[in-house]
């Protein structure tokens, strides 16, 4: 059977691991397998709104906390986190993942 993507859009597969856990999409709430979900780490300021503006004016550094967001494929495409790629390039690793995997600088 021809596959659209080399890894079929997942990081699980034959000889890798069994069933993967599910996570909720941070935007729409859809249940998605964790290995298929697009994971994004964002640094969210602890103070938001008018209070934050005033504090920034005064020159304070607002602490930010690390939040992990999971997106389903449709939401990730909607927000531009991942982009639609040409048929041939879909089978390759995305550029940023390639650099992460092989540690090329």
Residue 32 Cβ, how far from Zn ion at the closest point, in Å? Answer: 8
Minimal distance, residue 25 CB to Zn ion, in Å: 3
Which one, 48 or 74, has the nearer CB to Zn ion?
A: 74
11 vs 94: CA distance, rounded Å: 13
Q: How many CB atoms lie within 10 A of CB 23?
A: 20
CB of 21 to Zn ion, least distance (A): 17
SS (H, E, C) 79-93: CCCCCCCCCCHHHCC
Binding site for Zn ion (CB under 5 A): 25, 27-28, 30, 72, 75
Q: What is the distance of C-alpha 90 from the center of its chain?
A: 17
- Residue whose CB is less far from Zn ion, 52 or 82: 82
Considering beta carbons, is residue 62 or 68 the nearer one to Zn ion?
68
């Amino acid at each position: 059977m021809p596959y659209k993507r080399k890894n079929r859009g997942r990081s699980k597969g034959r000889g890798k691991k069994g069933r993967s856990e599910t996570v909720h999409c941070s935007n729409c709430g859809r249940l998605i397998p964790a290995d298929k979900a697009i994971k994004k780490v964002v640094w969210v300021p602890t103070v938001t709104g008018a209070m934050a503006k005033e504090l920034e004016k005064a020159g304070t550094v607002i602490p930010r906390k690390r939040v992990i967001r999971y997106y389903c494929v449709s939401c990730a495409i909607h927000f531009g986190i991942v982009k639609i790629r040409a048929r041939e390039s879909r089978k390759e690793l995305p550029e940023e993942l390639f650099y992460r995997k092989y540690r090329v600088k």
